[in-house]
Every structure is written in structure tokens, then in C-alpha cells.
Structure 1
Amino acid sequence: MNDQSAVNSPPSRRRASMLASMLATVLAVVVPLAGCGGSVGEAASVAPRERLSPPAPAASASPAPEPSAPDLPAPDEAVPKDPARLAEALTSTVGRLRDAIDDWRRTGDPAKGEAPEPVVLLSLYEQRIYRRLARDAKLASRAYAKLPKAVAARAKDNVTAIRDLLSLAHPVSGPIKIKVRPAEPADALLAAFRRAERRFGVEWEVLAAVMLVETKFGRVRSPSHVGARGPMQFMPGTWKAYGMGGDVDDIGDALLGAANYLHASGAPGDYRRALYAYNHSQAYVEAVLLHARQMKQDIRNYYAYYTWQVYVITTKGERRLTGP
């Protein structure tokens, strides 16, 4: 302290002043700093973006403001190795994420801008837990037994879908050269999914699941290892036949082309046949249908998937390229 009056005050007052200063310092340290936290979507994706909230202001004489969303998981929050602790963390995260999505839809505007920080960080932690379980079947089985029934069902669908997609991934060696960009606003994409559904009768949840699997809702802009392009990953010949003269890189055109192709291949009467035509892999078909089922059960799962980040699978392990 530099206040001369404090130096000249009685010992009891000096001690009280020193304790108040120490408490303010401790509080400034512990207040969390908010930070954002086969298919191209699993083999590649986005350069880190700036966190959604600005850095904390410099210390001043006024009290530090309370954080708007305390105790959010850090982007690198540890995933518990103990099944019981993992189940507890997942159950809490799922509940808090649902509440955060409700707040976003009620007080925010999913038709504009990015998802709010609580949704981003909670969704990332949920995704990281699922990816951990997808790589450890024993841990997954033990954790499922300790989860509430609804949370266990959600986890099984997502973990199975991720495991299926990991089996199709083509690891990248050497420098990662992937073109990426932020996704369009969540409700703008939802409107485009529904337009395609109205025109061709293909459920919007299936179209959303395909786009999630292929490019994480258009974040990945690089062609696949076999030359498929655009947010729905069309091969040139297939696009020429079903793209109706549109731009393969335009999201609206690509969704109409995908719905057209899936309809011509059997949807909505036979989604398995249609999706297998889209990508000749039963693992791919299962992953898309599992994600679609989750969105049909609760539209909040669409908003959670929307904020899932892109991972690149390399010969040295996986690496997250988008998000905080």
C-alpha cells in the first residue's frame, strides 16, 4: 500500500487494511478468466480463433466484477479416468449445457453471431469426454453403468458415432494444410436444412447429421482425400448430376444438392440405403443416423453439435484445431 495515512494509523487498523488488501489479491487470482473453450470432419479442420470474451481489465481500486458464468470447464479441463468421477462430470456437463442452450435461445440470437461462451466451453468438454470414451471401450462400459438412464443413452449414441467415424479417419502426416472458416449462425443453418427438407422430403436432422460428420457444419473447407468438395463433400461427377447447377461451395446449394441426391437414393423411405449411396460405409451410415436420432429427440442436441469442434487425426495422435 502507498497510502501514507495507512502507515501512520494504529497497528490494529494497519493489520485490518493489510488483510483486506491480501483478500482482494487472492480474489483477483481465483476469479476464472472467461475463455472459449472417411469424413473430412474427422480427418481435418480450423485455426484457433480469438476467445469470445475480452481479456480481464487491469486491476483497479474498484472491486472485481463477478464472473457471468462461474466454474466453466477450461478448454483443456482434465477428463477423469475414474468411471464414477467421469460419470459425475458428464452428468453435470450435460445438464449445464442444456440450460446454457436454453439461455442462448431465449436471451441471445442463434440467427446471428457465434454461440455464447458457456455453450462453447460446456459443449467442448462434453465432446472431449465422448472422444475419450470412444477410445477406451472398457472405461466407457463402466461409466455407462453409473450414468442416469437418459444421459447414458445420449452418451452411447455419441460415443458409438465417434468411434465409427474414427475408424474411417485417414491420419495426416507432415504439416497440416486445411482450409477452415467459422460456421454460419446456427439458426441460419437450421433454416437452410428445413428449406431442403420441404423441397425433397429428407428430414432436416439427417441433413444436419451429414453436414456435422462431413465438415462440422461447413467449418472445414478443404477437399477430402479423394477429392470431394464443399460443405456437404460432393464428388465432381455426383455434383454435376444432382447439384442442379448450383455452387458446390455454397451452403444453401449444397444442402439442396444433398437432399436431392439422398431422395434419389431412397430417402425418406430407406435412409440406410440413401446414406450408403452417399458414403459406402456402414460405419458412416450408423454415425449419421445416431446423430440424427439425438437431434430428433431434443433440438437442443442440434445446438450442442453445432458447437462441436474440429479435430485432425495425425500419425502422432489427434489434434483440435477449432475453438478456444
Structure 2
Amino acid sequence: MVADDATGLFDQLVTSERAVRDPAVTGKQLAFMGHLQQLVYRHLIERPDLRDLVFAAIPQDLRGAADLNIAAGADLYLFGPGGARELPAWRIVSAPPMSALLADYSEAEAAFGVPWYYLAAVNLVETRMGRIRGDSYAGAQGPMQFMPKTWDMYGEGDINDTHDAILAAGRYLSAAGAPEKIEKAIWMYNHDNEYVDAVMKYAEVMRADPNAFRGYYGWQVYFVTTSGTFLLPVGWSKD
């Protein structure tokens, strides 16, 4: 689906970036464009020779988001478990409806003062908006990946429930200093500088243009092992 030349990648990047921001693009077309956007950025991270050619021509109105997306993706390449030998014991499910997620982020923002786009960025990085069901290598659980002991302190309800988990994330980030000290709060959420940088960058893209969330909503679950990179589609399970 993704091109392997600078001209093709440029066309796909501009087309997908504009499409996900267009409210008239919905349904399967929006999902396709969001996934295409993700694939183009992944390919450009892996091919810096093509990235330089593509980025030299990106329209000015898309350049800020493109710079942040490529930098965030590079951060996650450093952060992620790229040396894993086998696929994780996860189950991949459909993300909750976009409207439901946005309502949950907004509720958490109203209750705890944490801007919605930070919660969305955490949700994106942790579980691709709740698509990943399963524990992390460290034992974190649920769509916002809470350690059970942390959940006991900040969670209410079900750690695996999207609404409850997003509210708990807002509660935790607020207690850790957000929104005034949001970067510190995100570091408290996950003690990794690359993780913090990625969340901050994706959040900034959505702050600058809330419609960017529509693209991220279409991003799928990919997992990197020593044998290669694998798409884990909805319905996939290691069992």
C-alpha cells in the first residue's frame, strides 16, 4: 500500500494528511487514510534518504505536523521493545467509537484539568486507542496501561474499561502536576524520555489541529521483533 519512492511517498503523505483533517472524509475512507498516514511515516523513519527528499517539498501548512509526527515516531522506535524474539500475548480488538473516546477525554479534562489531547496521545501510544488487550512486559494493564498498584491509588471501576481508565489517567496526571507541569506528569506516567517526547509531540499536533485525532484513530498495531515487523489486525490473538 505504501510507495517506495520519494514522489509516491510525498503524494501519499499530503493526501492522507489532508484527508484525515477533512470532516467530509468518514468511515472506511477515513480509516484507510489514517492507516496510510501511519505507514508513510513508518517508512520515512526507516528510509532517511527518502525522508529528506519528501520533507523538502511538504507544503508549509502541513510541515509542522509532519515534523512532529516523524520525530515522535523516531522516539518510539528507540522506546519500543524492538529486540523481542516473539509476538506478545495480546488480543487485538476494535477501538471504541471515536465519539466515545472524545467524550471520555473531554470528561477527564473537565474533571481534572488535563487537556484532552494529552490523554488522547497517551491512549494512542499505550494501546493504539484501546486496540491492544493484554499486559505490557512490565505488567501494566488496560487501555491506558496502569500498573495494578497505581490503579489501586488512582483508579475507580474497571482497569480494562475505557471510560474508567481515561478518567484514572486524568486523575493521575493531575496529581503528578498537570497541566502546569505536564511534561513532568507524563514522565511520572512512564519513566522514559523518548516516551515523554513522543506523547508531547502527538499532543501538540492535536492541540494545533483537533482534526488530527481522526488520523491517529486509524493507526493500527504493529509490533517489531528480531524477525521483522508484524501487523496485528483486529481479531489477532497469540493463542
TM-score by length of 1: 0.69
1:128 equivalent in structure 2: 39
Change (3 A) 1:175 1:310: closer
Q: How does 1:210-221 map to 2 (within 5 A)?
A: 210-221=122-133
Give SS of 1:320's match: strand
Structure 1 residue 319, shift from structure 2 partner: 1.1
1:185 equivalent in structure 2: 97
8 Å CA contact retained: 1:84, 1:146: no
Give SS of 1:87's match: helix
- Distance in structure 1 (CA, Å) of the matches to 2:111 and 2:126: 22
Give RMSD over aligned pairs.
1.7
Give SS of 2:132's match: coil
Matched, 1:169 2:80: yes
Identity of aligned residues (%): 37
Change (3 A) 1:89 1:125: same
Give SS of 1:312's match: strand
Matched, 1:79 2:3: yes
Structure 1 residue 219, shift from structure 2 partner: 0.7
Change (3 A) 1:272 1:97: closer
2:50 equivalent in structure 1: 139
Partner AA of 2:24 in structure 1: D
1:89 equivalent in structure 2: 12
Matched, 1:235 2:159: no
Q: How does 1:6-17 map to 2 (within 5 A)?
A: none
- Distance in structure 2 (CA, Å) of the matches to 1:177 and 1:129: 27
Give SS of 2:117's match: helix
1:102 equivalent among 24, 30, 36: 24
1:307 equivalent in structure 2: 218
1:252 equivalent in structure 2: 163
Q: How does 1:11-26 map to 2 (within 5 A)?
A: none
8 Å CA contact retained: 1:88, 1:147: no
TM-score by length of 2: 0.92
Matched, 1:296 2:197: no
Segments ≥4 residues shifted beyond 6 Å = none
- Distance in structure 2 (CA, Å) of the matches to 1:94 and 1:284: 23
1:199 equivalent among 102, 111, 117: 111
Give SS of 2:21's match: helix
- The structure number with the bigger radius of gyration is 1
Matched residue count: 234
- Distance in structure 2 (CA, Å) of the matches to 1:148 and 1:312: 31
8 Å CA contact retained: 2:34, 2:217: no
- Distance in structure 2 (CA, Å) of the matches to 1:237 and 1:225: 16
- Distance in structure 2 (CA, Å) of the matches to 1:124 and 1:253: 27
8 Å CA contact retained: 2:87, 2:223: no
Q: Tell me the alpha carbon deviations over residues 53-82 of structure 1, each in whole angstroms, 9 at most, x when there is no partner.
A: xxxxxxxxxxxxxxxxxxxxxxxx13232x
Which one has a larger percent helix, Structure 1 or Structure 2? 2
Q: Point out the more displaced range, 194-203 or 116-125.
A: 116-125
- Distance in structure 1 (CA, Å) of the matches to 2:87 and 2:166: 31
Q: Tell me the alpha carbon deviations over residues 142-191 of structure 1, each in whole angstroms, 9 at most, x when there is no partner.
A: 21111111222221111111111111111432355311211110001100
